[in-house]
Structure 1
Amino acid sequence: MIDQLLRSIPTDQIAEAIGEDPQATRQAVKASLPALLGGLTANAERADGAQSLLAALGRHQDGLAEGASVDQIDVQDGEKIVGHVFGGNTDAVVNQLGGMSGPQTSSLVRKLLPILAPIVLSWLAKQVVGGGGGGSAAATGRQAPGQPDGPLGQGRPEASPEQGSTDLTSVLQDVLGSALGSATGTRSSGSSGSSGGILSDVLGSILGRR
């Protein structure tokens, strides 16, 4: 799953747009994705967070993760997503990610997060609500995108049957769990390796207290 997500990110275009070395950008992208996925997972574990995220996905069925160019990415939208995913802990996450490769990486990660966030939501929307299966919102009509005022700034789902809402939440959590597991080499957040260390040290402790 993480390889699929990485392929959807125009890393070289992004590096050129922000004036950074392509190799350093690729490394920072690989470090940032598990943190974004972990933050989304932490939000999706709460009932209200899951519903807000499902509503946000309804607004991100935009094909951005299917080969869009970097100039199509709404960085202001990305800033809002990052702010809602990490809250007041954004700087702590950035600093922890940057600590993997030196202080210069922190500034690169800070540039990347609002660029990557809309792509990640677009990719997640395709997996959860745009997959064309019986469990997707697009197929069942369980969610109507475009409604305002969701905590992620992307809308609220319409009222839906309790079972339908539960099904979508389950799909969302399963997709995030699989993606996060493939990023860290395990289905659990207590994984080993550099990405697992970030999730354990930052997301497990800071986001877990939210």
Structure 2
Amino acid sequence: MSSPFDDLLGQIPIADIAKQVGVDPSVAESAISQILPSLVGGMASNAQDSDGAESLTKALAAHQGTLDSRKSVKNIDTADGDKIVSHVFGEKKNDVVKAVSSSNGVGKDIIEKILPIVAPIVLAWIANQFFGGNKKSTTTKSAPSGSGGGIGDLLGGLLGGGSGGGDLLGGLLGGLLGGKS
């Protein structure tokens, strides 16, 4: 039985990303496998308060239905990816990059190149999970005040179902993003 992270990883054009950043596909896959729980964990941290949950829900709505277009690296807006990464990690971005790179032996420069490519894919995939399907929804799920609600539950379930990145996530993000909104 595959985990949600396996499903998400399957949506990512690893070979294309490897070629674009100039690394072996196995190196790219290793880096991406560590990046995914970090991104999802950062989103979950942001969704712990009502403002963060509302902001994330709006971002998900904007990325809903775009997953299929993200199957090719050439269709990924890395400027959008940079914005997503900056919003998710805030001032802790460099700390997260450093921790992810030290956990898998991939250089910080490679992690910095991969993050803005992967972030829009992750957001589009989560949007599909949250809104159900690959079509734009006209209704938005709302989050109860003071918690992540539906989005918090989805991200928490995804984090609980991770493969390989959970240990890093607990140690890294617990300290880095604990109080960030």
Q: Which of these residues, 23, 27, 31, is aligned with residue 26 of structure 2?
A: 23
Secondary structure, aligned partner of 1:166: coil
- For the pair shown, the structure with the greater C-alpha radius of gyration is 1
Secondary structure, aligned partner of 1:100: helix
1:142-196 deviations in whole A, cap 9, x for unaligned?
33xxxxxxxxxxxxxxxxxxxx6237x5321222112111115xxxxxxxxx633
Q: In structure 2, what is the Cα distance between the partners aligned to 1:28 and 1:56?
A: 24
Following TM superposition, by how much is the alpha carbon of 1:66 offset from its aligned partner in structure 2, in angstroms?
6.8
Gaps of 5+ in 1: 144-163, 185-193
Where does 1:55-74 land on structure 2 (aligned, <5 Å)? 55-64=58-67, 68-74=71-77
Q: Is the 8 A contact 2:103 2:168 kept in 1?
A: no
Tell me the equivalent position of 1:206. Answer: 176
Tell me the equivalent position of 1:89. Answer: 92
Secondary structure, aligned partner of 2:71: coil
Q: TM-score, normalised by structure 1?
A: 0.75
Q: In structure 2, what is the Cα distance between the partners aligned to 1:122 and 1:58?
A: 9
Where does 1:142-161 land on structure 2 (aligned, <5 Å)? 142-143=139-140
The answer to whether structure 1 residue 125 and structure 2 residue 95 are counterparts is: no
**Bigger relative CO (Cα 8 Å, ≥ 6 apart):** 2
* Gap change, CA 1:207 and 1:8, over 3 Å in 2: same
Q: Is the 8 A contact 2:64 2:128 kept in 1?
A: yes
Secondary structure, aligned partner of 1:209: coil
Following TM superposition, by how much is the alpha carbon of 1:131 offset from its aligned partner in structure 2, in angstroms?
3.2
Following TM superposition, by how much is the alpha carbon of 1:61 offset from its aligned partner in structure 2, in angstroms?
1.5
Tell me the equivalent position of 1:158. Answer: none
CA RMSD of aligned residues (A): 2.2
Q: TM-score, normalised by structure 2?
A: 0.87
* Gap change, CA 1:172 and 1:66, over 3 Å in 2: farther
Q: Is the 8 A contact 2:45 2:178 kept in 1?
A: yes
Q: How many residues align?
A: 174
Give the helix-richer structure, 1 or 2.
2
Q: In structure 1, what is the Cα distance between the partners aligned to 2:68 and 2:100?
A: 23
Moved more, 56-65 or 8-17: 56-65
Gaps of 5+ in 2: none
1:105-142 deviations in whole A, cap 9, x for unaligned?
3221111111110000000110112438xxx982xx43
Q: In structure 1, what is the Cα distance between the partners aligned to 2:44 and 2:161?
A: 14
